[in-house]
Amino acid sequence: MKVLITRPKQKAKYFSDLLEKNGFEPLILPTLELSFKNVEVSLDGYDWIVFTSPRGIEGLFRNLTDSQKMQIKDKKIGVIGTETAKEFKKIFNFEPDLVPNSYTAENLLEALKKVVKPDEKILIPTTPATRDVLVKNLNADLLFVYTSGEPEDIAEKLNGLKELLKDTGSENLMLTFTSGLTAKNFFKHADDELMDLFKKCTIVSIGPITKENVDKFGFDSIMPEKTYTIDGMMDLILNLKK
């Protein structure tokens, strides 16, 4: 079976390798294009630094001076989930202080509310496309360290996908989405004929927020029960195969 990956090209390899290892044929059609920004960073006055994606960690690290990289160790660190926690430890070489049990912005917010003191301030390195759940409900500032643009060739690649589905059948393709934005950028370029073909595909969303965005286009995607990560998606895909 073919499995379509809509992640940014820089982040697709791990998922692609997992699929190949388990006998699937990955097709990579990125609907997001990551671009890291050069920004001036001040960590003074912040008690917490909170990350909602691994890209926020990489984007912040790229802009820190050597002394600021040491200063990070004096901050409390919150992350949205295990994949982001792994990326943080890989880059900064210590464990974050807070990782919620369920990997959504809402669960991260609830976890932070339990431990952040009223006078503590939070810095959130992220993208302008971020959801505003955290900054609306916490004493927090956003720092835009990367952007998520839309590749120019999505429509062209979807036309190629349409021809493939006509030849091989929609039942032999699984669509996967790892964020609401990957889904929005994907489906808005699909014409009515292609949307009809997608109705016979299995569609897998990484978690509830992504599923909500996918299902707005008239689908009922499936998602992992608990672990909203690439590994969780892979486990679900393997169970479907069985």
The 10s digit of each residue's pLDDT in 145-156 is 999 889 999 999
Per-residue pLDDT, averaged over 42-70, amounts to 96
Any long-range contacts for 219-226 (C-beta under 8 Å, 24+ apart)? 221/177, 226/102
The two domains 2-32+151-241 and 34-148 share their CATH topology (first three levels equal): yes
What's the CA gap between 128 and 147, in Å, rounded? 7
- The CATH number corresponding to 34-148 among 1.20.1080.10, 3.50.30.40, 3.40.50.10090, 1.20.140.10 equals 3.40.50.10090
223, burial (CB in 10 Å: exposed 0-12, middle 13-18, buried 19+): buried
Per-position DSSP letters for 108-122, written without gaps between them: HHHHHHHH--TT--E
Q: Is the pLDDT of residue 242 over 80?
A: no
- Of all residues in the chain, the percent with pLDDT exceeding 70 is 100
Q: Please tell me the predicted confidence (pLDDT) of residue 131.
A: 82
Q: Is the pLDDT of residue 226 over 90?
A: no
What's the CA gap between 86 and 90, in Å, rounded? 6
What's the CA gap between 53 and 57, in Å, rounded? 7
Kindly report the average pLDDT of the chain as a whole number: 94
Architecture per CATH, domain 2-32+151-241, reads as 3-Layer(aba) Sandwich (3.40)
Task: Categorise residue 187: left if φ over 0, alpha if ψ from -120 to 50, beta otherwise.
Answer: alpha
Does this model's pTM top 0.85? My answer is no
Per-position DSSP letters for 218-236, written without gaps between them: S---B--SS--SHHHHHHH
Q: Please tell me the predicted confidence (pLDDT) of residue 148.
A: 85
Q: Domain ranges in the chain?
A: 2-32+151-241, 34-148
- 72 falls in which pLDDT band (50, 70, 90)? very high
Q: Please tell me the predicted confidence (pLDDT) of residue 129.
A: 83
Strands (E), 18-166: 25-28, 33-36, 48-51, 76-79, 122-126, 140-144, 146-149
pLDDT digit string, tens, across residues 111-143: 999 999 999 999 999 999 888 899 999 999 999
